[in-house]
Structure 1
Amino acid sequence: MISDMLQKENVQILDCVTDWQEVVYISTKNLIDQGYITGSYPKKIIELTEKHGAYYVLCPDVALLHARPEDGVIRRQLSVTLVKEPVTFKGKSDTVRLIITIAAEDSQSHLGALQKIAEIISSEDRIKSLIGINDAEKLYEEFVSVQ
């Protein structure tokens, strides 16, 4: 369940960022500060992006940032960052505004949350609704209300 992995303080809305690297660092900062991941996690995401492109851009407007558990995950957790001005990631033509970061301790414990995320982003109308939200608490509620 998303509610098991997403804390309210890990949902944020930004007006803009300078580039995709900055959004990776901003999207992971709370997770680092709270001890869910180490500083090596965002660095690994950036390194993998430089090598393979933005493998985590799932569809227009949505990215699911992640690396492997051994790349700095301490405890499983999610963060959600909404950027009002779209971001272009390396090697992708689709722009992104909704960035979901997942820190998974293993290959299994986060699968329920991933299934719920897939439900959330499977509808273009729902994505449009999410990116139109201007309040972080409302964005949080939209994610955790998916049963």
Structure 2
Amino acid sequence: MQTTLLTKENILLQQESTSWQEAIKKAAQPLLRNGNVTKQYVEAMIQSVLDAGPYIVLMPGFALAHARSEDGVCRLGLSAMTLNTPISFGSPNDPVKVIFCLAAIDPTSHLELMGELAEVLARDSIIDRLANVETPEAFIQLLEETRS
């Protein structure tokens, strides 16, 4: 995995959220802090779900929050968050335990990362395993090991 994008500083573990909107905002905090995205981008991620439904819940327990690059992406970035109490997005794949936030600078810059992520997430029980790690280092290590 492109671990230069998903650093330990960009991983939030065992968080609590009362709604999917709050969960997206929390998961995006590392990207905001690092200057990858603007506040407008975070709001655009939420608005895209309000407009199009919970399409970001790609598989049981996993959501990939994102919006268009012109909505406030400053540079390519990725963050991840696990939830103590899974959240419902209104999807058949609910409840969500792991949320990634993707900030892509254009429609193609993130395709390699998406391919790697899809390969890893297709593994049995990976979402449950990611949801239960105790350190950001263990989160990254699990992604790397699963990819091998």
Give 1:8 shift.
Answer: 1.6
Structure 1 segment 64-83 matched on structure 2, within 5 A = 64-83=64-83
What's 2:108 paired with? Answer: 108
CA RMSD in angstroms, aligned pairs only: 1.5
Distance 1:6 1:133 in 2: 15
Q: CA deviation at 1:127?
A: 2.0
1:48 alignment counterpart: 48
Aligned amino acid, residue 57 of structure 1: V
Size of the aligned set, in residue pairs, is 146
* TM superposition shift of 1:144: 4.4
Residue equivalent to 1:131? 131
User: Using the alignment, how far apart are the partners of 2:144 and 2:80 within structure 1?
Assistant: 11
Flag as ranges the 4+ runs of structure 1 deviating above 6 A.
none
SS in structure 2 at match of 1:12 = strand
Given the two structures, how large is their TM-score scaled by the length of structure 1? 0.91
Q: CA deviation at 1:49?
A: 1.2
Q: Tell me what 1:2 maps to.
A: 2
Instruction: Pick closer, same or farther for the CA change 1:38–1:15 going to 2, 3 Å.
Output: closer
In structure 1, the gaps of 5 or more residues are: none
Query: What percent of counterpart residues are identical?
Result: 33
Amino acid at match of 1:9: E
Against the structure 1 CA distance between its residues 15 and 25, is the aligned structure 2 distance closer, same or farther, given a 3 Å change threshold? closer
TM-score, normalised relative to structure 2: 0.91
